[in-house]
Structure 1
């Protein structure tokens, strides 16, 4: 089986690289990055793919040519929702024979959302990572229609715990989307600084998803490193990017507001803390941690009070036995069942045509031109507003 994987951002690239690594023996795979405004930098690519060769960053047309050249049995579309829809419905439409289109979400996906399903409803297989997520997305699929099968795969970067020495590092894993408010992010930084002051034996590290000048999957309005400078650097913190796995290898504790990296910490037997000060709900992307035993406060962080996950919670969330995974079997069945009825996208139709055209600009127009166009549009709006 030949599989072509296409990623559009740092988190999806890491997910795609790991998922390809878990394909059955004998599969051939190729990985590329489609050029978009959030395409990862060279440093992010290296951190995401590890020992694999660095994938090329291609234009949409070059991605189409790569698909025509390799004639894959399946294409893993590891991208943000609008880009998945544009690639499947437009850029890669009309490939003959039609490959199986596989997609999914690279991390925690609780609660399941209609939007995630709608954008990916043109794909034949939708991969998620816990039995709870399978049940929730299967319910969405039954209600909305469209799409194909929902498959289960253990998050590919949740490897068994590696041998670790006595770590002295506390790792704070940032999340681009939450908390949103500047003041809330400043509170997190001050609690980390308080811990560093109280425990000089600890190396307190803010693990960044991206450096200030790098793009990432979601736009980060208040970058932690910039906030720290603007606060006058009131303490002893380090800011680093790079591989989360390498950071966890030296960790004595881990903290986040909401990050899939919390699951990596559990897998590596690193005590951790999920901050609840800003709410525990779908908006904070941390609802899944209810009942985990990991929720705590900034005061707990300042004291270095880290926890271990409840076994019943881990069994239901992301740490199911490997034998329950069925995504690879579903994929093989789809590849072998040609001719087949392809998935039906719920976004086909004239009412979605304008949105698709806008989304297609993200993969067909150079990012610098897109940004210049947005800036010009904002200036025109401000000018018109000043005239009224």
Structure 2
């Protein structure tokens, strides 16, 4: 089975690279990045793919030519929703023989959303990572129609710690890692409170190195736009304490971690897998908007005050079994994929076909066909025109 994986951002690239490694033996795989305004930098690409060969960054036309040349049995479309839709419906439409289109989400997807399903409804297999997610997306599929099978895969980067990385006495654990999330919290003041609490912890515990682990540096792109970047905020606060900032591999940070904290990040699951005690901050709410509702009942929700005390804790075993840490033998995505390749099958039906969605697809196609520098210049010009017209009115 030949599989071509296409990613458009850092988090999806990491997910795709790991998922390819979990394919059955004998599969031939290729990994590429499609050029968009959020395409990862060379440093982000290197961190995301680990030891794999560096994937090329291709335009939409070059991707189409590659697919025509390689004739993959499967195309794993590991991209943000609008890009998944336009690649499957237009850029890669009409390939002969038609490949199986697989897609998925790279992290926590609770609660399941109709929008996530609609954008990916043109794909034959939708991969999620807990039995709860399978149930929620299957219910959406039954209600809305479209799409294909919903498959279960344990999040591929939830690996047990490497043997000898840390002994039972916690040797080498001299770090507290704060994993940022681009989307939440939204407000500048909330992010400043997090930084100041981390600085207070660092002052109370001089034996610990407190690290703000970022998905991207200030000048790098990521899956979601980050309005108030933590590194810039810290500088504007006058750096009132002892914090360090790092990008790169989360796994390497966790190997040295005595504690982990986040507002909402899939990296919390990586910390659990590595037996790192943690906190998921609840000060700004526990709800779908904060992307942390899944942690209800986990035992790891806590406050900034508890963070300053270094009060990290282990997740509930019962919660882990129900959320993302199911036994490997429950995974069925690879079997479903193999069955789809063997066929026969009816191609998935996208819910976004038709004139009502044509304009949105045209905008998404611009993201994959126009060079990002040209596209950004166009966006800036459009904003200037809007401001000018508003001033005249």
TM over 0.5: yes
Match of 2:384 among 358, 379, 382: 379
- Aligned residue in 1 for 2:372: 367
Q: CA shift at 1:166, angstroms? A: 3.1
- Aligned residue in 2 for 1:58: 58
Query: Is the aligned partner of 1:342 residue 2:373?
Result: no
SS in 1 for 2:150: strand
Per-residue CA distance 1:160-205 (angstroms, 9 max, x = gap):
1223233100000000000000000000000000000000000000
Q: How does 1:280-299 map to 2 (within 5 A)?
A: 280-299=286-305
Post-superposition, which runs of at least 4 consecutive aligned residues in structure 1 deviate over 2 A?
Answer: none
Query: Is the aligned partner of 1:130 residue 2:130?
Result: yes
- Aligned residue in 1 for 2:260: 254
Partners of 1:13 and 1:21 in 2: how far apart?
13
Q: CA shift at 1:69, angstroms? A: 1.1
Partners of 1:68 and 1:237 in 2: how far apart?
50
Partners of 1:287 and 1:65 in 2: how far apart?
42
Match of 2:189 among 183, 188, 193: 183
Partners of 1:274 and 1:143 in 2: how far apart?
33
Q: How does 1:1-388 map to 2 (within 5 A)?
A: 1-162=1-162, 163-164=165-166, 165-338=171-344, 340-388=345-393
Partners of 1:46 and 1:166 in 2: how far apart?
25
Partners of 2:147 and 2:113 in 1: how far apart?
14
Residue segments in structure 2 that go unaligned for 5+ positions in a row: none
Partners of 1:240 and 1:84 in 2: how far apart?
30
Q: CA shift at 1:301, angstroms? A: 0.4
Partners of 1:311 and 1:240 in 2: how far apart?
31
SS in 1 for 2:151: strand
Partners of 2:253 and 2:102 in 1: how far apart?
31
SS in 1 for 2:83: helix
Partners of 2:172 and 2:360 in 1: how far apart?
52
Per-residue CA distance 1:32-51 (angstroms, 9 max, x = gap):
00000000000000000000
SS in 1 for 2:377: helix
TM-score of the aligned structures, taking structure 1 as reference length:
0.99
Count of residue correspondences: 387
Q: CA shift at 1:330, angstroms? A: 0.1
